[in-house]
Amino acid sequence: GAGVSQSPRYKVAKRGQDVALRCDPISGHVSLFWYQQALGQGPEFLTYFQNEAQLDKSGLPSDRFFAERPEGSVSTLKIQRTQQEDSAVYLCASSPTASGGWTYEQYFGPGTRLTVT
């Protein structure tokens, strides 16, 4: 079946521009996660949705980062006024259960590589 998809796969933004990154989770998956992966590092948790409810946004690095999942399926991560330090791969993952990453594995998408120039 279809896995997690993300678009665009690559995004180049000039410093100060706003960007929107899209995630299509596996159909029916309750949990959705966003991660930021800097070069040479592991994924770092940004935020978690259970259906349309954003239950944990403790990893969002600043108020320039905003995520939504209005109908409990597709999610968008928006970064306003991008800075060079925002350059990274942004990963989306989904999981079929409502317990976050505690009791089930996560299925990852291919990521969006964001480069801020």
* Interface contacts to other proteins, rule CB under 8 A: 3-4, 31, 33, 35, 40-45, 48, 55-56, 58-59, 91, 93, 100-103, 105-111
CB 51 → other proteins: shortest distance, Å?
13
Alpha carbons within 13 A on the beta-carbon side of 5: 7
DSSP single-letter state for residue 26: P
SS3 117: coil
Based on CB atoms, which residue is closest to other proteins, 6 or 82?
6
Residue number with CB closer to other proteins (43 or 79): 43
Is 112:8 a contact under the CB 8 Å cutoff?
A: yes
Q: How many CA atoms lie within 13 A of 105 on its CB side?
A: 2
8 near 110, Cβ under 8 Å?
no
Q: Cβ 45 to other proteins, closest distance in Å?
A: 5
Q: Which is nearer to other proteins, 16 or 96 (CB)?
A: 96
Instruction: Tell me the closest approach of the beta carbon of residue 84 to other proteins, in angstroms.
Output: 21
Tell me how far, at minimum, the Cβ of 108 lies from other proteins, in Å.
4
